[in-house]
Every structure is written in structure tokens, then in C-alpha cells.
Structure 1
């Protein structure tokens, strides 16, 4: 990273093939309201887009000197973040995502939370909202503390220490102390970095005043692929640190693994009572979770919720098992799990 410029915030953004969204995102990021004497630079690491995104970025950067386009030959998020970090000049680094909408004071609240908490990284809660029915069901399940296992990053009113936060904002010295993002990870690079911070004696802090709105996937198929990929890369994080960031991350893999073992035993001659009972227990839990989510003002979405919740859990569980298989077999990730899922 270059020498820091005082009172400058560097916003870093990885992207690839976002032609339809990038102009609106840049306008939103440049509209951030910062108290003087703070100023903002926007660094967008393009992963060799081939849909016209790069040309649009060059046009935007020509019109606005505060926007800089960084080449990301590695294409994946962690490589893009590190490339942008290397070029960043700010004393505070804020990560943004193209598919998220931000409150006008988002960056200002990140700066305030860092100053107030003294943490190594701060962030806001991960708030999701959908438009079409399936996307609304996905957002409702995503937001539920019951489906997420009580993750604090989904609690919109929580202020305090957490195991991870959405996106993140860091004082520049955090990267000097804890390093950048692991470029071996296609997913979960933020969780791994936060785990590295907490294991190294730093604090992760969530502030409810840091407000943003995430647009989730719009179909069950895309949701399943997303969580399959999240689950797949989680064992690579666990192998690196010898522990999960949170015990809730183990549950989907244990469920799917248990179902496979019991079903395999039944196919070899054991009783079918256990695998069918295991599946029935999950079905009952799925129904209960769906009712709990629906009771939070989402009754119209109830028919869709069991499908959405199952796609979330089963995708993550299968991905976790495949990830552990590759970790134990040769320690390398598969190419098919390195592709973006949007």
C-alpha cells in the first residue's frame, strides 16, 4: 500500500461483468456525505469484465478524477480487494459491493464507528430486501435469526463486538498488522480475515448506525449455488485456522453428512427407521422455521419459505462436505467453485 493521505477514505470495490449496475453504484458511492475535512476516493478493481463494464468504468473515471479503475487479473474478489488495497491512499479503507444500496452517511458512520470503538474493523448489519416474490422469500429467510443460527450480523439493532460484519471498514494499520485478504479463497475471504483479526488480538465491531440494503439472489437455483459455494470454501478457512469462526457453521454439513451416512447404511441392509426419522426431524424443523419467519410479517411468503430455507441449508451442507473432501484429498479448490454465482 502507498503512503496514507490524512483525512482521505479509500472505498474499494471488486467487480466483474456489472455493466447494468456499475454507473448507478458509482453515482451512489460518490454521493456519500462526509464531514469536512474528509474526502473520498473510489477504487474499482475490475476482474477483466467482458460485458462492457470496463469501458463504462473508463468513461466514468474520465469524467470524475475521484474514480480509479484497477486491473484485477485474478478475477476473484480477494484478488480484487488486494489490488485495490495496494493502490489505496486513504488512512481509512471502506469496502463496498455493487449490489448493495447505501445510506448517504454510510461511509461517515464507518469512520465514526472506528473512532468510537477503536476496533480493527467495523461494519453494519447485513440487511436484505427483495422485490419479486421469490427474492422477497429469500430475503425474509436470510434476515431471520432462526435461519441464520443467531448470527449477529443479521441483527439490525445490534451494537457491539461480533465474529464478523458485512463488508467492513478498517483503519489502514489493520492491514499492516493482520495482512490482506487470502487469495486462495474465492468465498469467505471476509470471514477468514475477521477470524484472523480476532485470533490476533483485534476486535470486530458492528454498529447499527452503519446502514445498507443488500439485494439477494432472485431464484432458488441461484440461492442454492451461492450457498453451495459458501459452504465449499468454509473448510479451507477452518483448515487454515484450525477452527470455525462460529459453531453454527458446522450444523448444515453435520445434517447432510448424517443423512448420507444413515441412508448408506440402510442401503447396505440396516433399518430405514433412522434415515427416515432423521429426514422427518428436519422436515419438522423446516416447517417450524418457516412458520417463525412467516410470523414476522411474511405470511404471504409461507409456501415459498420451506424451499428457500432448504436450499440455503442443504446447499451449504453439501458444499461443506465437498470442501472437506478436497481439503483432505489434496488441499486445492475446484475450478467450478471459483466462478461467480450471480
Structure 2
């Protein structure tokens, strides 16, 4: 049975995608009279607000909210506070959604008696070799580990996971554990889901619900996106006691730390440095193998060098960001009661 649904779409400067995103949401097989679609805009400076206003005039279920703080957790909390439906779904403005995405998740939320539910995020490749390589880099197990909503799953059976893309929640969840942590510019969804799991909450991945994500393709943006994600995962320990790191988050940090130790040994113990170099050589051999194999599957040999660069960017960038965030958190100490944004480097303060 269809239920009243609040859809929250945080965005800022998304003029290229917000219209298509809204079209895909409105095209879902769901009664518009039950929808409350709230676009929470971070004071966009392009045509985003104008585009959303046009949709709001055409569709009574669409409205625009201002987010002066311009960060995602604040946008989510504003959307939750300004809606009343028992089901709350987050939508990413940089994505398009299958026509059954919404009904599958809303039905699944009650069918599986869970607290948060999500689907598979398929990365939409662009027209160039580079953009196709980006699509593989953010969805390949060699790059992202066991994040199933990114890599996809075998079969159609729903399964319990630690996190999902965006998410669809029962409102009671926010009443039980609170809202998103506004001190976390990134990783706020991960922290929220870990809080949810800590009290016995259940998060379900439903493979039939699918959306298409359009990645940002410049290499500099990709580097910053990776660095910021890991920085905030580790730096978050300043602002929350929630445990968020898994093996897939620890490996890159250990990988980069190993490089640093091997470099030090090269000047102090050359024989030991040669031994420590073996795993590094193995990594690059594995990187080359995975890159060539993926390129061959795409019948695009020229993609292999791009994939090698992007896989390395993912691992090294994530590892460096993790070390930076962890050391910054240790140096600055706990600040659970009061966030001091002026102490956060500009590089990791602004969204990529």
C-alpha cells in the first residue's frame, strides 16, 4: 500500500542535473499526492534555484528550501524538520532513478521490517575513455572493497549491510537516535548508519532498486573527493564517539604508512627497505593486472593506463587523507560539544 513519503534532495549548483533528477523522481510509479519533494538548496549561484522554482510551479508536490550553511548534513536535517511523512527518502541530485526505485524501497522498508533501506548505485560512464575509467574506478572491488551498493551483487535477494546509498528511513529512526551530525561535512551518513546499527537497527540493500550516478570526472576533483572522504572518516573522531572505520577504510592508511616506513628504512636499513619494497611491487603488479583485465573486458586497451592512475589515486589519496585526518584529530583533541570549523583546513572544508 502506498504511503505518504518525504523526499529530501540536498543540492548546490546542480543546474546540469537537478532537472533530470526531478524528472526521474516524478516519473516513478508513485502517487504524486502522497509525495512531498523538498529540494534543500545551499544557496546556489547558477540556475539551480530557478529550475527548481519552475518545477515547484508545475508540480504541487515540489518545493524549495534554503540551506544557508551550504553543507549536506544541515540540508538533510532541514528537510527532515520541515516534513511530516512517516517515510523519509534521501535522493542525490547527481543521479537518475528507475521508475520502480521509490515503490520498491518504500514497500521493502515495511516488508523487511528494517530501519533504513537502499538500492544499487550504478555509475553512468561518459563518452570518453577517461570518463569510462572513472566509472570503473568508483565501482570496482579493487578500488572500493566490499561496498556492495557500489560494486553490485549477484542475485536479487535483499541482504543486510552496514550502509547504503542515500537511504530510505522510517521517521521513528530520527526520534530514536537523533538527526545527522552537522559537524561532519562528509561521512555524516556513515556515522548515522553506525549509530543506527549500534542500537540494533537493520539496514537492507535491495538489488532491484537501481539508480544511475554521474561522477565528477576531472582528475583534480577525483583526487579531492577521495582525500576528503577519508580525511573526514578519521577526523570525525573529534566530533563523535561512533565507531565508523572498517577494514576497507584501514587498509589504505596502512598502505601509505608502509610506504613512509620503507622510505625511512631506505636511509637507515637498506636491506630491510628492500624487503619492505616487495609488497609495494606486488601492489603495482596487481594494479596493472586488474587495469588491463578491466580494459580488455571493455575492448578499450587505452583505458588501462587511466585505470592504473585512478586506482592508485584512490588508494594513495585515501590513505594520505586518512593519516592527515587521524593526526589532526589526535593533535586537536576531542570537540564533541563544539565544532571549530576555522581549525579545519580549507582543502577539506569545502565540498568537492
Q: Structures share a fold, TM > 0.5?
A: yes
For residue 284 of structure 1, what is the aligned residue in structure 2? 285
Separation in structure 1 between the aligned mates of residue 294 and residue 237 of structure 2, nearest angstrom: 30
For residue 339 of structure 2, what is the aligned residue in structure 1? none
TM-score, length-normalised on structure 2?
0.88
Q: Which segment is superposed worse, 239-248 or 148-157?
A: 239-248
User: C-alpha root-mean-square deviation of aligned residues, in Å?
Assistant: 2.1
For residue 91 of structure 1, what is the aligned residue in structure 2? 86
Separation in structure 2 between the aligned mates of residue 10 and residue 112 of structure 1, nearest angstrom: 14
In the TM superposition, what are the counterparts of 1:305-324 in structure 2 within 5 Å? 305-324=307-326
Q: Note closer, same or farther for the CA distance 1:137–1:179 as it changes in structure 2 (3 Å cut).
A: same
Q: Which segment is superposed worse, 157-166 or 90-99?
A: 157-166
Residues 1:337 and 2:338 are matched in the alignment = no
For residue 174 of structure 1, what is the aligned residue in structure 2? 173
Separation in structure 2 between the aligned mates of residue 286 and residue 307 of structure 1, nearest angstrom: 9
For residue 211 of structure 2, what is the aligned residue in structure 1? 212
Q: Which segment is superposed worse, 219-228 or 231-240?
A: 231-240
Question: Where in structure 2 are there 5+ consecutive unaligned residues?
Answer: 334-342
Separation in structure 1 between the aligned mates of residue 103 and residue 42 of structure 2, nearest angstrom: 28
Check whether the contact 2:160–2:204 (CA below 8 A) recurs between aligned residues.
yes
Separation in structure 2 between the aligned mates of residue 19 and residue 320 of structure 1, nearest angstrom: 32
Question: Where in structure 1 are there 5+ consecutive unaligned residues?
Answer: 1-5
Check whether the contact 2:11–2:40 (CA below 8 A) recurs between aligned residues.
yes
**Which of these residues, 124, 143, 150, is aligned with residue 147 of structure 1?**
143
For residue 57 of structure 1, what is the aligned residue in structure 2? 52
For residue 16 of structure 2, what is the aligned residue in structure 1? 20
Separation in structure 2 between the aligned mates of residue 29 and residue 215 of structure 1, nearest angstrom: 16
Aligned length: 334
TM-score, length-normalised on structure 1?
0.90
Check whether the contact 2:17–2:95 (CA below 8 A) recurs between aligned residues.
no
Check whether the contact 2:191–2:242 (CA below 8 A) recurs between aligned residues.
no
Check whether the contact 1:17–1:49 (CA below 8 A) recurs between aligned residues.
yes
Query: For 1:74-101, what per-residue CA distance to the aligned partner results, in whole angstroms no more than 9, with x for missing partners?
Result: 1111111111111112111111111111
Separation in structure 1 between the aligned mates of residue 198 and residue 235 of structure 2, nearest angstrom: 17
Separation in structure 2 between the aligned mates of residue 47 and residue 322 of structure 1, nearest angstrom: 27
